[in-house]
Amino acid sequence: MLRFAVFASGEGTNLQSIIDAVQKKEIHADLVLVFSNRKKANALKRAEAAGIETLHLNRKDYASPQSYERDIVIHLKEHRIDFLVTAGYMKLFTGFFVKQYPNKIINVHPSLLPAFKGRRGIKDTFTYAAKLGGVTIHFVNEKMDNGPMIIQESIRIHENETLESFEARIHEVEHRVFPQAIQMFALGRLKIKGRKVRILDQPPRINQ
């Protein structure tokens, strides 16, 4: 069974949906580590409550982003991590880091990419008065919110919608489809060719 880590910076609601899915065996992979760049992130508390090992490293303690990420990678290798999931992780990875886990980092973004990239995807979608919002699950590459897309699901923005109600509806979609994408990866059902991600009906056979 594959082993994975979740990177999170904040409240950890997406992390909680992943923890719940793992516990219900809806994700056939072992969540063995939760990492945060913020010592007081509630995501770390959620992980600890679930009995999952946590790790916090402060970027300010390192001379450069590369030295910071090298230390993170050392910990990931020690934990034999096969793939990564970023759930509200507010740091961009360097090319060095991405190359350590090529096509093995999965992110959730609260807009229909390539529209409204960045950390304000929900608010930017709403204030732009878009007719549709949504969620994108994608692989991470060296550019922000740019990797091949696994799943996109849209929701219509109502005429009487508030930012708060729209945000709540987006989170509901995230919490449902993110674990689904992780499960497909864990089962070997995602095949990447260029920018396209094909979802296989059955995982490829492994010759014993």
Dig out the tokens for 91 from the structure: 């740091």
Q: Is 129 left (phi over 0), alpha (psi -120 to 50) or beta?
A: left
This prediction's pTM: 0.94
Is residue 109 annotated as a catalytic residue, yes or no? yes
> For 3-199, which CATH class?
alpha beta
Q: Which of 109, 138, 171, 175 is catalytic?
A: 109
Helix segments in the chain, DSSP class H:
13-23, 42-49, 65-78, 95-100, 121-127, 163-186
- The pLDDT tens digits of the residues spanning 77-90 come to 999 999 999 999 99
Under the banding of pLDDT at 50, 70 and 90, the label for residue 201 is: confident
Does pLDDT of 135 surpass 70? yes
